[in-house]
Structure 1
Amino acid sequence: MKTIKNKHMKTIQLFLFASLFTLVSNTSFAQTQKTEKFKVSGNCGMCKKTIEKAAKDAGASYASWNKDLKELTVKYQSKSTDVSKIQQKVADAGYDNAGAKASDKAYENLPGCCQYDREAKKSTAKK
C-alpha cells in the first residue's frame, strides 16, 4: 500500500511540475511579445505585400498594413528585434514611415502604382 501511495505522489508531483513549467513558459513568452502600430506610406495591394514582407523579414511575427489608414500593425519578440529595425527594413523596401524615411533610390525602384506622394523635403536654406 505504501508503494502505491509513493507512485501516486510522484505522479502528482510530476504533473504539478509540468503544469508550473508550462505556466511560467507561457507567461515569459507573453511578456516579451510587443505590438506596435505606425504610419507607413503606400497605395495598393502590391504595397501591402511588400510592406508586410519587409516587416516580417525584420523579425515581426505578424504584420498587417491597412491601406485606408496607411497604418502597419506588427507583433514581435522584443528579445529578437525592435520597432526601429522593422521601420528601417520597411524604409529599405521603399516606404516612408513614422520612424524611417526611404532613400530616393529605394523609392524610385518601386513600381509606378506604388510610388505614393512623398512629403516635400524641408529646405534648410534661409530666405
Structure 2
Amino acid sequence: MKTLAICLSILALLLSLPLAQAQTDTAQPAAREVSYSEPKLQQFANAYRAIVELSREYAPKLKAAADIEEAEAINREAQGKMIEAIRSAGLTKEEYQQIAGSLKSDPALVEKVNKMLQKDQR
C-alpha cells in the first residue's frame, strides 16, 4: 500500500516537475524558441510556487492513505487544487505546461524564472 501511495504522490507532483527537470535537463537540443512576456513568466512563477506548496501539503496525506480509493480521492483533490492555483495565477493549464515545456530546452528561460522565484522569496 505504501508503494502505491508513493506512486500516487508522484503523480500529484507531476505538475510541479517540469521546472525541476528543466534545471537538470539543459543538454537537449532546443526545440522551437518561444518568447514569453515578463508578466506571463511571473504568472508561471506564482503558479509554480503554489503548486510546490500544494505538493508539500498533499504528499504526506497520500502516503497516509488507508487504501487505493482514498489515495485516488486525495490525488484528484490535489490535482484539482493545482489546476485552480494555475488559473488563480492567471494562466490556463495549457499555458503553464507550454512554459514548463519551454524550460526543458531554454537554459536562459530557466534562469529568468529561477530569478523571479528567488526574488519573490525575499
TM range (shorter): 0.3 to 0.5
Q: Taking structure 2 as the reference length, what is the TM-score of the superposition?
A: 0.33
Structure with the larger helix share: 2
Query: If you compute each CA radius of gyration, which structure gives the higher value, 1 or 2?
Result: 1
